[in-house]
Amino acid sequence: VYLEAIGTVTPVYTASITSEVMGMVTQVHYKEGQLVRHGQTLIALDTRPYQAQLLQAQGALERDTNILAEAKMDLQRYQDAWAKNSIPKQTLDDQEKIVLQDEGTVKNDQGTVKYEEVQVAFCHITSPITGRVGLRLVDPGNVVQSTGTTILAVITQLQPITVIFTVAEDSLAQVEARARALISRRLT
């Protein structure tokens, strides 16, 4: 059945890619009109500032982990001394609270390390869908902002894709019959 009609091809998904972090573009890994796959690297940003912050966070975590270990050793000594009635209960209680404070500091440091790892990962911008990439909107040397207002690339999904068109009501019965035949053939 052939019917002429004006229609619109509409992708199921279109992704406008923006940066989560601020930085200088070091590499663009796509060409205009290229087919890209889900997870494929599109743009690389300079990771050096974020790597430095990650290193600082890891250093703070290491320092505070050792402070916590020292506080736990002191707590064990105080518990042993308390068992022999060698120190007042307040000294033991104070040391228990110091250990809890240090545990909180270590958890905070762990969160900072995780955050900085995510920032480093955001420097590698990947495709969230499989599709065709549009115009090249950035070049190496450009500085991108993390405000989300600068679009770095637009990816349009091609499969599946929808076509919207109108058909005269007089022709609808022919189209439905043919569509049912195609569907039943696929199911068997």
Taking Cα atoms as reference points, which of 9, 26, 12, 3 lies closest to residue 141? 26
Residue 51 reports pLDDT greater than 80: yes
pLDDT tens, residue by residue, 82-106? 999 989 999 999 999 999 999 999 9
Please tell me the distance from the alpha carbon of residue 3 to that of residue 155, in angstroms, as a whole number. 31
Residues 12, 164: contact at Cβ < 8 Å?
Answer: no
Residue 116 reports pLDDT greater than 90: yes
Please tell me the distance from the alpha carbon of residue 158 to that of residue 135, in angstroms, as a whole number. 16
Alpha-carbon distance values, 188 to 175, 177, 178, 184, 185 (Å): 20, 17, 16, 6, 5
Percent of the chain with pLDDT over 70: 99
Phi, psi of 92 (to 5 degrees): -65, -45
Structure tokens at 99: 């250990």
Residue 110 reports pLDDT greater than 90: yes
Q: If pLDDT is split at 50, 70 and 90, which confidence band does 149 have?
A: confident
